[in-house]
Amino acid sequence: MISYYRQTFIYISCYQECPQSLSMFAEFGSFKFSPSKANGTFSRSNSSGKGASNKAVNVQKSRSLSVGRKHFTSSSQWEQEMHSKIWPQSPNGLKPSRSDPALGLAPVPAPVPQQRAKGLRIAESQNPNISITSGNSFMVSSQSRIFQPPSVQSHHETKTSLTEVTKATKTEQQSEVDATVSMADMTLKEAVEFLASPEENYQQCGASFIQHTTFKEDHSKQEVLKLGGIPPLVALLSSSNPAVSQSASAALRNLVFRDQANKLEVQACGGIDAALQLLKEPDSTETQKQLTGLLWNLSSADKLKGELIDLALPVLTKSVVVPFTCWSESSVNHNIHPDVFYSATGCLRNLSCAHPSTAKEERQAMRVCPGLINSIMSYVQSCIAEDNPDDKSVENCVCILHNLTFQLEKEAPQCFSKFSSSTEQPSGGQKSPTIGCFSPKGSKINREDSFSYPVPAEESEPEGMSWLCHSKAMQMYLSLLGSAQKEATLEACCGALQNLTANKGLVSSVMSQTLVQKLGALGYVSPLIQSPKPSLQKSAMSLVGNLSRTASLQSTMAKQLLPDLVTLLSSGSKNMGNNDDLMATTAHTARSLLLADPEIGKKVVTTDLVTSLCDLSENGSFPKASKAASLLLYSLWNERSMQGLLKKLGMNKSVFVNETTTAVHKSVQVVD
């Protein structure tokens, strides 16, 4: 039997993994922010409860969790301008996620005494806006079923990094102080020397200058590294002066943006631990923004992911994610800004698609992290309930969930303990017929042996890892498929469902049955397989391919989806983005459904379909699709009930059974 199903995985550094799917980030447009308060307060309604995870759908409309719901009381506002670009692709097909934000121009520190500030002149202070980042997704791999690749991380560097993108907005002149130091005449060497000064004004001035310069001039990052500026900046994260530590964190954030050497230097100087210690102090919203942005940028480096999983995962979860999504009077941090949550989830998104050599352990560490999955599920459900499916943090959260479903059955079998071995085979010990292959006599599939697996009972209030394979999570993904507009969010939802239906055994069959028969998944997926966006179309088609493996669903799927599949195949390769994998999956799935219900097939098979398949079967540019088209042609004629229709269309046997199609058919039989 042909194996054309995959799991999807979103890998951040390089978005690479085994043949399954994860979510990542890709480069995108600019974010603009107006000056915001250092300690803004935000109104939130209490959503405490059993993890608040299963009650999120009933949250009050006043609950302010995300950027999309601008209910917090702060002067901060933002406008996101996305530039449509093709997501960068990793070697395994996964898309990277946008991330690695660089901080914009920094506020100028308090005046430095003129007699000490050699070469500096007096000027008005500036309070610039800051830029931020985000994340994405992708898919890959080829196993028996289609597993979606992990969701993209938030960086994009070389072969294993996240897309690092951010723009700063123009600074605004302010007159809150009469005199401040202008840094126009300062050099980087002087700025680095200022960092070691015993006077805090000089320290802040040096850090702010480095922040400004590294934002505008990429080459200055390496100069700061050569001048030894990173160790003193890391040391200043522990300063007792909040303004100094904030400036130092902002400078480090810019220094590590798209700079692997600086990332490693920050780690070598103990910068990760220092940043996390400062993040635990809820004194300054602006400092939290810089620190989570710094951690997000650092998470694009594969070499740092292990330490970030060990150190940053628990801190980000406990200090940011849980307090933001499950607010209560006992929360450690009552005033988490949406931007802080966004950067934190961007970092976690990258960590959820770590390097293949360590990905299994790191995914499992995230799955068992107390409060993480509950909080993410609560947040996404609340956004759906508030008609805000395109909230930017929803994308990060869904990509994390997508990545954590990758290889779930293999890596966390305890999640599926409810599937008892007694339900693995139907009565009489008969196995479900192989889908897409012929009977020993070469005729149509014997569907009389089809059966439905019993769906085991689920806990009404899932916790932690149990969420990943729960029907409530699947319903959440379908809700987003029906309401969200962001391509990355839609792909991650398809990817998570792909991963849950990717294997050949009992679990995937039950998941497929639940999706189609209980949750009505076909109505959500059908519009996506006709999407003009090839990557989304591929994700949706891969999910359909997985679902079609369950024999008891094929008749239903043939009625609902076969006309759309035939239309796609008849339209030619251009309407499927000239994507070999997409065309192959479409042809294989159409073949399974046509053979499963020939009567439906008779209504949809047309001359255009056959002509398109003939052209594709001879097209060497698409090796996978060519073989799939040849096999479909051979199968159409081999299905005796179809021959009468094909002859009426003016076609003879040689169109369907010829040297090309016969060779493919024989090769498939050998594999089987």
Give the pLDDT confidence score for residue 99 in this predicted structure.
39
Q: Token pair of 156, please?
A: 């994009």
Task: Kindly state the tokens that stand for 188.
Answer: 């980087």
Q: State which of 5-14, 77-86, 552-561 shows the largest mean pLDDT.
A: 552-561
Alpha helices in 230-357 (DSSP H): 230-236, 242-255, 260-268, 271-279, 285-298, 302-307, 313-316, 322-325, 338-351
> Pairing mode, if any, of strands 151-152 and 78-81?
unpaired
C-beta of residue 137 within 8 angstroms of C-beta of residue 488:
yes
d(CA 24, CA 399): 7
Average pLDDT (241-254) is: 96
Q: What mean pLDDT is predicted for residues 152-159? A: 38
Residue 102 burial class via C-beta count within 10 angstroms: exposed 0-12, middle 13-18, buried 19 and up: buried
DSSP state of 177: S
- CA 249/CA 297 separation, integer angstroms: 12
Range with the poorest average pLDDT among 214-218, 321-325, 507-511, 667-671: 667-671
Residues pairing with 152 in the sheet: 24
Give yes or no for residue 614 having a pLDDT over 90. Answer: yes
pLDDT value of residue 567: 92
Report pLDDT digits (tens) over 327-339. Answer: 555 554 467 999 9
Whether the per-residue pLDDT at 149 is higher than 60: the answer is no
Which residues, 6 or more positions from 357, have their beta carbon under 8 angstroms from its beta carbon?
Answer: none
- Is the pLDDT at 283 greater than 60? The verdict is yes
Q: In this predicted structure, what is the pLDDT of residue 453?
A: 62
Which amino acid would we find at residue 484? Answer: A
* pLDDT computed for residue 621 by the predictor: 92
Quote the mean pLDDT of the chain.
74
Give the model confidence (pLDDT) of 41-98 as tens digits: 333 333 333 334 333 333 333 333 333 332 322 222 222 222 233 333 333 333 333 3
The pair of three-digit structure tokens given for residue 327, joined into one six-digit string: 């607010």
Tens digits of residue pLDDT in 565-592: 999 999 888 878 888 999 999 999 999 9
Going by C-beta distance under 8 Å and a sequence separation of 6 or more, which residues neighbour residue 322?
331, 371, 372, 375
pLDDT at 273: 97
Residue type, 533: K
Q: What is the pLDDT of residue 457?
A: 74
Compute the average pLDDT of residues 493-522. Answer: 94
Instruction: Tell whether the model's pLDDT for residue 282 goes beyond 50.
Output: yes
pTM: 0.76
User: Which one is predicted more confidently, 527 or 13?
Assistant: 527
User: Looking at the predicted structure, is the pLDDT value of residue 253 above 90?
Assistant: yes
In this prediction, residue 122 has a pLDDT band, given cuts at 50, 70 and 90, of very low
Per-residue pLDDT for 355 more than 60? yes
pLDDT bracket for residue 152 (50, 70, 90): low
Determine the pLDDT at residue 151.
61
Cα R_g (the chain), whole angstroms: 28
- Residue 103: what pLDDT? 54
Tell which residue, 163, 103, 397, has the closest CA to residue 299. Answer: 163
pLDDT at 577: 81
**pLDDT the model gives residue 328:** 54
Q: How confident is the model at residue 667 (pLDDT cuts 50, 70, 90)?
A: confident
650 has a pLDDT exceeding 50: yes
CB 326 within 8 A of CB 378: yes
Q: At what angle do helices 219-226 and 188-195 cross, to 10 degrees?
A: 50
- Res 150 pLDDT > 70: no
Is residue 138 within 8 A of residue 21, CB to CB? The reply is yes
Residue range 504-528: mean pLDDT, rounded: 93
DSSP 3-state helix, strand, coil percentages of the chain (rounded to 5)? 55, 5, 45
Contact 598, 442 (CB under 8 A): no
Q: Mean pLDDT over residues 172-196, rounded?
A: 66
